[in-house]
Amino acid sequence: MLTEAGYSPVSIIVGEATFKQTLSVSDVENIRRKLKSKGFGIAEKNNEKITVKIHAAICEYLNKVANGEDIPQKLSDYLSETLHQSYYQLSRRFTQTAGLTIEKYFICLRMEMAKELLMHDELSISQIAWQLGYSTQQIFSTQFKKETGKTPGEYRLKPVPQRIHWDKLLWQHFKQNA
């Protein structure tokens, strides 16, 4: 989207684009309009910037869990280490900005990933539970039903159409459900 608009970012990671040149006020406004037309925005306040970084770190953590990487730490420790702040500070800022806790947001993202895996129908429910870091299928199934109103088996038979890929979801998608 940025290159289509004539901008050449040096790097783009979730929530952050770096440019070689300094952007003018009109460039920033043009980018803001383009992002808004696609349902995005520019994080300008410090809490918004931290929240975007927390989102990126949570997605990174969930990817590592799903890919079977050995992660010896809890999400809270991972976030503190990755973002160089205490979990208390991160949690407080995230909740203020996003309107839900980091834990609830992580559960929501995990459930969205579970829905994708259930729709692909390549793994058993117990394999999905294990891949998402649950210690048992029962714990996974109980949480899935609590969050979606359906068991994983019921969801697999009648998935909800037109979903947003889990790592493209932001806290705004879940705020009203918190």
Q: How many CB atoms lie within 10 A of CB 20?
A: 8
pLDDT (tens digit per residue) in 108-141: 899 999 999 999 889 999 999 999 999 999 999 9
Which runs of consecutive H residues, i.e. helices, occur in 11-73?
25-37, 46-66
Which runs of consecutive H residues, i.e. helices, occur in the chain?
25-37, 46-66, 75-83, 87-98, 102-120, 125-131, 137-148, 152-157
Residue range(s) of every CATH 1.10.10.60 domain in the chain: 102-177
Q: Which CATH class is domain 102-177?
A: mainly alpha
Indicate if the pLDDT at residue 144 is higher than 70. Answer: yes
User: How much is the pTM?
Assistant: 0.73
pLDDT on residue 41: 64
Residue 11 main-chain phi, psi, to 5 deg: -150, 150
pLDDT on residue 161: 59
pLDDT (tens digit per residue) in 21-43: 777 778 767 777 776 676 666 66
pLDDT (tens digit per residue) in 48-93: 788 889 988 999 999 999 888 888 789 999 999 999 999 999 999 9
